[in-house]
Every structure is written in structure tokens, then in C-alpha cells.
Amino acid sequence: MLFEKMPSLPDDLAAMNEKEIAELCAALRQRLIETVAENGGHLASNLGVVELTVALYSIYNPHEDRIIWDVGHQSYVHKILTGRDAGMDHLRRPDGTAGFPKRSESDADAFNTGHSSTSVSAAIGYARGYALKGDKRHVIAVIGDGALTGGLAYEALNDIAQSRSKVIVVLNDNGMSIDKNVGGLSRYLGKIRKKHSYLRAKRRLRRFLSRIPGIGKPLTRLLTRMKNRAKHWVVEGKFFENLGLYYLGPVNGHDVYALKMIFERANEIDGPVLVHVQTEKGHGYEPARANPEIFHGVPGFDPETGEIPCGGRCSLSKVFSSTLCDIAEKDEKIIAVTAAMSIGTGLQEFSERFPGRLLDVGIAEPHAITMGAGLVLSGEKPVTVIYSTFLQRAYDQILHDVALQKLPMVIGVDRAGVCGYDGETHHGIYDFAYIGGIPFTTIAAPSSAGQLDKLLRMAVKVYDEDSEIPADRRLFVIRYPAKERFTFADDPKYIGSEPKYGKGAVCFDNCGGKADVVIFSIGEVLEEAFKAAKILDSKGIRTLVFDAVFFKPLDEDAIAELAGTAKVIATCEDAVKDGGFSEKVRILLAERGINVKTACFSLPNSLIPNDSVINQLRACGISGENIAGVCEKML
């Protein structure tokens, strides 16, 4: 525990002297390091906003004023200061504090975040609503320079000009999102950062003046106000001013005193303000400062050395990247596309081996898809790789700009299925449902690393004239989890096979094809289906497991034939039931007039709280033991 008694905000922080503030910031950093080392989480971004959060909560009351932390990666300090320090002991666990802001957790969490670039829009909504009823509360959006590359942020900034809402936009500029920032905005902010000669002079002068007895601090405040009015002649902030915001900054984001002064100045301005704050990701902890990409989101680690243990499971992101590199070695038209996630999607190797052929568009998933459509029409072969939870943002582009033009394209949907400790904002459980209804698509879900390799090699053939893939199904989507759960490749009961387009395969058969129970599985949950089959086998129950591999086109004839001879069937998937694999199988059987007892093991279309992946699946009934038990009872 960091606090015996939680501070009353903003009064207790505002009353602290410089030494007490420094001690508090050091204690917060130590608490962050210990907590994330134990539980995993987002470390570098939180270390970077310690002073910024302390300064904000020395001026504003987060329980009354509305402070929205964009994405929410950097909200741990906010949570500690707003009464949830005890919950940090079990950060991101079911009985602890969530990893992102949640309105259900505290009245200090003004808006649920987890996806990028939403804060300014939400803040304008709050400000307009308060203005209509004469409520004078402050509204602040804290947005990173990475999140500011998202199109939604620009839609909101464009709206500010006409709204004239009193919103303070705090631009947390650390030159990073998850990967290094890219694009014109990054270069523009870089120009502003370089014009810092006046900042050095200001710091020296402030230190000198503050030491003058009696008049030092009042004089410093007066000169700071004068400097803020004159600074626009020195620093380029016109981009934001042209959008209708009054620009203040840049200011050192690790100087609490300077931050408090600039927020006080922002409060004096009538209308929207952008406060440009420069911070350093990982500040105060050398391993995270030196490797902010690695320490963006980490599992548990050694807090003394910063050493991160290697995971025991095979990374399917790396398998995808390695296979893509092999393909690109033979075909120079292959181009990889990602949206600020080259490290997370494993594409670093591709970038190193093929400089110039990895296109990182920043946090702009819709742009990644439509730009990919342009690449296809120019004769290139893009392979776009985006997390399932973020690809949701590009639904219209997949449908309108790719599918309806019947363009070939390969999309790798990383982090499919439940995501574990990041919770409901990051689950990749809706992709079957939202992509499945798009025409002219192929959707595959490998159950192993070997299948992923072969399916990607199959997928890139959509760009070939003589491809076996039908011309009206050449938008080829492959969804896969972060890590392989397939652990039984050498099991003597496992029947391996080569993937064939649009076909599934029997992978467990203890009855020569005449089963009492048939389990139809797709994707990573094949591991649980296989466990269930072995349990049923041990009880003498004739069982067969069918690995569907393809969600679209579904291997309808094989599924109907196997289901038609069974007494009980079960369907297993790591996606929501509505619009998912289980629903498609049930519709197929109804259309074919096949009446058989059916158990469905899918994810509920409701919130699945943060926990380990295995616990999340078990809580939803997707475990070998439960599948076997239900099937046995139905018999």
C-alpha cells in the first residue's frame, strides 16, 4: 500500500511542497514497478505520466471534473491517486483493479477506454452537455501523440472549432505509441520539440528568480504568464490554433511546478486549449526507458534487473511473420501493412529483412485497409496484419473498399479469441460475426502453428490468376490467437492432415467413423475438444473430433454427413455464439433436415472480465472436462 489515508484531491496535493511532491512521485514509480513486475501490465507509459498525473490532480478533482485518459494504458497513477491503491496488488486480476479506466469501478473514471483516439470526442460531448445546463466542471482529455494519429481524434479536433467547448486537450508527447510514431504529425511535433532553446533559458531563469526572498515566486509566476503570451512567436503551435485551439507549450512533463503553472494558465482561457506536454516513456526506470516498446505491455518481470521471462508457448505472431518473410523472399510484390503494431504482430523481422516493404500507417486501421486496396489495384500484394479487437474499426473499409470491389486481399487477424488480463476492450471474439456477413470472403482459423503456416501460403495465392481459391472469395482472412495452445501434435491419437481450401478434417477417431459423439471445433479451442474426446474415449464412448479449419466457406457436406450419423454433436469456438461457428452449424443442420442433440460451446455475447485465458474459457464452459461431461449426460 502506498497511502495510509488517500489524499483529498486536489487540496492535499496542492498543499505539498517541492520535496514532498518529489517523494510522492518517487513512491508512485516504485509502486508501479513492483505492481507490474508481479502482475504484468503497461509499465513504460505509466512511468512517463507520474508527474503529469500529480500535476493534474493538484489542480483538478477527478471525482467531479471529467478527466479522460485516452486508450487508458497510462491510467495506473490515476487509479492509485483516486482510491484504488489496494486493488493494484491484484492489477488486471478478477479481484483487483482493471488495467483500463472503467466507469463501473470508480466515479473518477469518466469514460471507459481501451481503444485509441476516443478521448477528445468524449470530452467535447461532456463539455457540451455541461454547458447546456450551466455546469462549470472542467473537462480534460489526455491524449498521446500516437493516439493523435487516429482519424477519430481529428474529427473531434475539427469539431472543436465550431463547438467552442471549454475543453483542455493535454497532448502527452513522448514520441511513441506502442511502436515508434510515424507520419506527418510525428515530424511536426518533432520540429516543435527541437525549438527548445527558450525552454532551457526559462528553466535557468526560473530557478534563479525563485531563490529571491519574498518576491521570487510571485515574480516567477508573473514572468511565466508573460512568457506564455509571447511564446507563440518562438514555437510553432499554429497547426492546433488553426483548428480552433489555444496552444500552450511545449512544457517539460516531468516538472510538476511547470505543469501546474501551465494548467492554471489553461483555466484562464475561454475556449478550447491544447497543452503540449513532453514526457519520456519509462522515465525513472532504466530498463523501461531504454526499451519502451518492450515495456509497453509486459508479463511479470524481475524488478531489480528488468529481465522478462520467456513464455512457454509458441508465438503465432512470430510464425505468421516468419512465413511471410519466406514468401516475400521469393515474391518482391509482397508488402506487409500494419497499424502501429509491427512489434505486437511480429513484423519486426519482416521490417529488418525487407526495408521499405513494411508500411506502418500509425493508429489508423481504416486507412490501412483502404490503402491496401489501392496497393492491390496498383499491382502489389499487401498482407495486412491487425489485432482482432482493433480491426473492428475498419469494418466499413473491409466491406465497401475491398469486398464490394471484389479485390483480392490477405488480412491476418492477430490476437483472436479472449485476450486474458486486458479484459473486455481487447477480446477478439466478434470477428467471425462481423466479417462473416461480408460477401466474397474466405475466413480460416488455424488450430496450430503448422496450420497457420500452410494457410498463409495458401492465402497469398489469391493474387495469382491460376489460384485454386474461387474468384468470388479472394478476400482471405486468417484469424489466430497470440500463442499456440496446440500441445498434442505428437499424441498417437491425433490424426494430422494437410489443409485443403474450404475443407475440414477429422483429427480424432476411436470408432472408425461411426461415432456416438461428434465434436466440431474451429480454431485454438481444438485443444479443449481433443481433451474432451480423450475423456470420452476413456469411458468407452465412441467419439470423433472434426477440425473445421474454415469458417467460410464451411465444409457443409462433411459436417452434415458426420452429424447425420451421431447421437450427440458439440460445437466449439472461441468467439461469440451470435453469428459464430456454432450458429452456422445449427443453421446448416436445420436446412438439411438433420435432427440431432446439439451442445454449443461458444462465448457469451456479454462482458467477459479480465482473467487468464484458460480461466476465461473455463468460465464460459469451454474446457475439455465440461465438454465431455455435457456430451456424456446428453447421451
Pairing of strands 597-603, 550-552: unpaired
Distance CA 435, CA 390 (A): 13
Radius of gyration for the chain, computed over Cα atoms and rounded to the nearest angstrom: 27
State which H helix or E strand residue 15 sits in. none
Distance CA 428, CA 560 (A): 28
Burial environment of residue 579 by CB neighbours within 10 A (0 to 12, 13 to 18, 19 or more): middle
Nearest CA-CA partner of 79 in 58, 56, 105? 105
Our answer to whether residue 4 is catalytic in this structure is no
Distance CA 367, CA 323 (A): 25
Distance CA 327, CA 471 (A): 22
Catalytic residue among 51, 365, 528, 573: 365
What percent of the chain is helix, strand and coil (3-state, nearest 5)? 45, 15, 40
State which H helix or E strand residue 105 sits in. none
Catalytic residue among 66, 84, 102, 281: 281
Give yes or no for a cis peptide into 553 (omega within 30° of 0): yes
Distance CA 420, CA 428 (A): 10
Count the neighbouring beta carbons within 10 Å of the beta carbon of residue 194.
Answer: 8
CA distances from 6 to 1, 316, 456, 588, 607 (A): 10, 44, 53, 58, 30
Catalytic residue among 393, 461, 473, 485: 393
Length of the chain in terms of residues written? 635
CA distances from 117 to 122, 299, 494, 616 (A): 10, 25, 46, 28
CA atoms within a 13 Å half-sphere pointing along the CA-CB vector of 601: 31
The answer to whether 75 and 100 have CB atoms below 8 angstroms apart is yes
Distance CA 403, CA 382 (A): 15
Nearest CA-CA partner of 383 in 339, 331, 335? 335
Nearest CA-CA partner of 139 in 68, 207, 209, 199? 68
Our answer to whether residue 265 is catalytic in this structure is no
Count the neighbouring beta carbons within 10 Å of the beta carbon of residue 238.
Answer: 10
Phi, psi at 521, each rounded to 5°: -130, 150
Residue with cell 484458460: 614
Our answer to whether residue 393 is catalytic in this structure is yes
Burial environment of residue 299 by CB neighbours within 10 A (0 to 12, 13 to 18, 19 or more): middle
Enumerate the β-bridge partners of residue 144: 172
Enumerate the β-bridge partners of residue 382: 335
| Catalytic residue annotation | 281, 365, 393
